[in-house]
Amino acid sequence: MRIGVPREIKPAERRVGLVPAGVTRLVQEGHEVLVESGAGEGSGFDDDAYAAAGARPATQQEVWEQAELLVKVKEPVAAEHGFLRPDLTLFAYLHLAADRPLTEALVAAGTRAVAFETVRAGRTLPLLQPMSEIAGRLAAQAAAHHLQSNAGGPGILMGGVPGVAAARVVVIGGGAVGTQAALAASGLMADVTVLDASGVRVRELTDLMGHRARVLMSDEHVLAEEIAGADVVIGAVLVPGAAAPKLVRREHLPTLHEHALLVDVAIDQGGCFETSHATTWDEPTFEVDGITHYCVANMPGAVPRTATRALAHATTPYVVRLARGPERALAEDPEFAAGLNVEAGRIRHAGVAAAFPDLPAQAD
């Protein structure tokens, strides 16, 4: 099979879909790999490294037009929609429930689209987890930075000092993002509370966190009570493949601490704060009713050398399986098939179909 790896063109995105070791493995199995010139530079892999691994250097157009399997990190942006076609399998983060234009483009083109974030392995999302862990840690780092006055914040040290209170941090959601955000924030000595709606997860987190954070069973009333007076609220809610629920509404904002910070890590799925909209690394924050919102949509892209390697460890075995034949790979493994979001002009994932009920869909 001919596999293409394009250079990411989303703003401030420097990750790459395959590392040279993955190229070597695919070439050894008899596949041809095309890598766009400069695709790996931001992650520490130059064109010579890919050539030494057996890849053929190519232009953007050659990669997109010649590939049978295209491996990206982030979803195709509008400038790439014209490259979509029916004989292409796309493997990347897609987050379609929050992206109608891309969903429509994939349906119209007939492209087979397999999303990293909905592939399953038991209770886990193995291709989402490494980036969720990074995003969670970055969320705590971003919160600490944006509380500082030089970053436009109120001038609060996350962990306080003896005799001065630490920042109150509320983490909504106890999955991979929320867990790492809570651990990182508690490591900075903040006053941390984690909310989750799963009794099983609350017990697990209680054991994990010990005395480092409070872990509470969440409902609408508890959430409202806990975010009242908070300095930082980190939104880490995920419904795989579906749009994130809007748990913090505009009416909640006046109850937060003056100049509080909302960090919406769920923004790729539309955000879990009613007042959120996606931001970039160039302009990461905005204000609503005096409350600062931080909603960068590709947070792990800021640490591409770490993130690309972590992602490749998880995704490369799946790329190898797709290269042996997408139809067979998905048919033989229902958990891998959970990643199939669009195929042959129809939506195949229930969460995406629910987000766009007017678009053609096909249930499994």
Per-residue pLDDT, 256: 95
Please state the rounded mean pLDDT for residues 317-329: 98
Token pair of 248 as six digits: 């913090």
pLDDT at residue number 363: 63
**Which sequence spans correspond to the domains of the chain?**
2-119+304-355, 129-302
Percent of the chain with pLDDT over 90: 94
Kindly list the strands in the beta sheet with 232-235, ordered across the sheet, starting from the edge strand earlier in the chain.
214-217, 191-196, 168-172, 232-235, 261-264, 291-294, 285-288
Query: CA-to-CA distance for 337 and 254, rounded, in angstroms?
Result: 44
- Fold equal for 2-119+304-355 and 129-302: yes
pLDDT of residue 117: 96
Mean pLDDT of 11-35: 97
- What's residue 360's pLDDT? 96
Could you list the residues known to form a binding site for substrate, using ranges.
15, 74
Buried b (16+ CB within 10 A) or exposed e, 277-299: eebeeeebbeeeeebbbbbbbbb
Given this model, what pLDDT does residue 258 score?
86
Among all residues, which ones are annotated catalytic? 95, 268
| Helix axes of 304-323 and 129-146: crossing angle, nearest 10 degrees | 160
**Two structure tokens written together for 316:** 């490369």
pLDDT value at position 362?
86
pLDDT score of 241:
82
2-119+304-355 belongs to CATH 3.40.50.720: yes
In the predicted model, what is the mean pLDDT of residues 348-356?
Answer: 95
Residue list for the binding site: 15, 74, 132, 196, 201, 218, 237-238, 265-268, 296-299
**Greater model confidence, 6 or 241:** 6
pLDDT over threshold 90, residue 364: no
Q: What is the pLDDT of residues 111-137, one digit of tens each?
A: 999 999 999 999 899 999 999 999 999
- DSSP result, 34-84: EEETTTTGGGT--HHHHHHHTPEEE-HHHHHHH-SEEE-SSPPPGGGGGG-
CA–CA separation, 116 and 38 (whole Å): 23
- Give the whole-number percent of the chain exceeding pLDDT 70: 99
Mean of all residue pLDDT scores within the chain: 96
CATH H-level superfamily of 129-302: NAD(P)-binding Rossmann-like Domain (3.40.50.720)
Q: Which residue has the higher pLDDT, 247 or 240?
A: 247
Encode 118-157: b = buried (16+ Cβ within 10 Å), e = exposed.
bbbeeeebbbbbbbbbbbbbbbbbbbbebbeeeeebbebb
Binding residue numbers for NAD(+): 132, 196, 201, 218, 237-238, 265-268, 296-299
Find all residues with CB under 8 Å of 120, minimum gap 6, and list them: 126, 240, 335, 338, 339
pLDDT digits (tens, 9 = 90+) for 161-208: 999 999 999 999 999 999 999 999 999 999 999 999 999 999 999 999
